[in-house]
Amino acid sequence: MSNIMAVLMNGIAQLEYDRDKALTDYQLTYLDEMDKKMDEGINIDGENISKPDLSQKIQFVTANMLSAIKSDNEGMTSALCTYLATRLPDLKQVKVIEEGGDMSIDMVFDEDYKGQVSVGFTKH
């Protein structure tokens, strides 16, 4: 069983989080502060949620992580990915599919991430 959690967009790995690497006290405190801030209320799709549950927090964090990935904000992407990996210890993959203006997100708990394989082509 793998301790890697991966975030894939349109089948391409964007992040791989290794749960075997210990977090620092600073990182753990940062995650707890994220929880406290979200406990004060979050906005999902224009709806204000004053007392979000874990599922709503996960939805909020995932949306913000995808935004951070698209804007190349590595620090925020890393923090949000770490939040997902620690708060959902059985999460193995976050699969994001974008088609046109639509986006679907599949949280995968039952399929280990196998990693990307590089394939080289030669011209003849």
* Cα–Cα distance list, 49 to 16, 60, 85 (Å): 30, 11, 23
Is residue 8 a contact partner of residue 94, using CB atoms and an 8 Å limit?
yes
Q: pLDDT tens digit string along 7-61?
A: 999 999 999 999 999 999 999 999 999 999 999 999 998 999 999 999 999 999 9
With 0-12 / 13-18 / 19 or more C-beta atoms within 10 angstroms meaning exposed / middle / buried, residue 31 is middle
Is residue 93 a contact partner of residue 6, using CB atoms and an 8 Å limit?
yes
Rounded CA separation 80/37 (Å): 14
Q: pLDDT tens digit string along 66-80?
A: 999 999 999 999 999
